[in-house]
Amino acid sequence: MSTRPWIVDDDLRALIEPLLPPSPEKSPGPLPVADRLCLQGILYALHNDIARQLLPLELGFGS
């Protein structure tokens, strides 16, 4: 795994985590991306003013 600074630090994650719905036990399809990585991808896209579909896969924020 690449080393990158966390956009979502532990304090911000502690504030947001209770607001997230629980992950389903079993669901069809690919495994979901971790909540923290998903949120980082959203914030990265907003900060860089790009569409989420254009997130570089190398960053590991999911598709």
pLDDT at 2: 47
pLDDT band at residue 6 under the 50/70/90 scheme: low
Query: 60: alpha, beta or left, given left = phi > 0 and alpha = psi -120 to 50?
Result: left
The span from the CA of 28 to the CA of 23, in Å, is: 13
The mean of the pLDDT values for the chain is 79
Rounded to two decimals, the pTM is 0.66
Residue 11 and residue 25: Cα distance in Å, rounded? 27
Pick from 60, 58, 24: which is nearest to 40 by CA? 60
pLDDT tens-digit profile of 36-63?
888 888 888 888 898 888 888 888 876 5
Domain extent listing, the chain: 1-14+33-63
CB atoms within 10 A of CB 39: 19
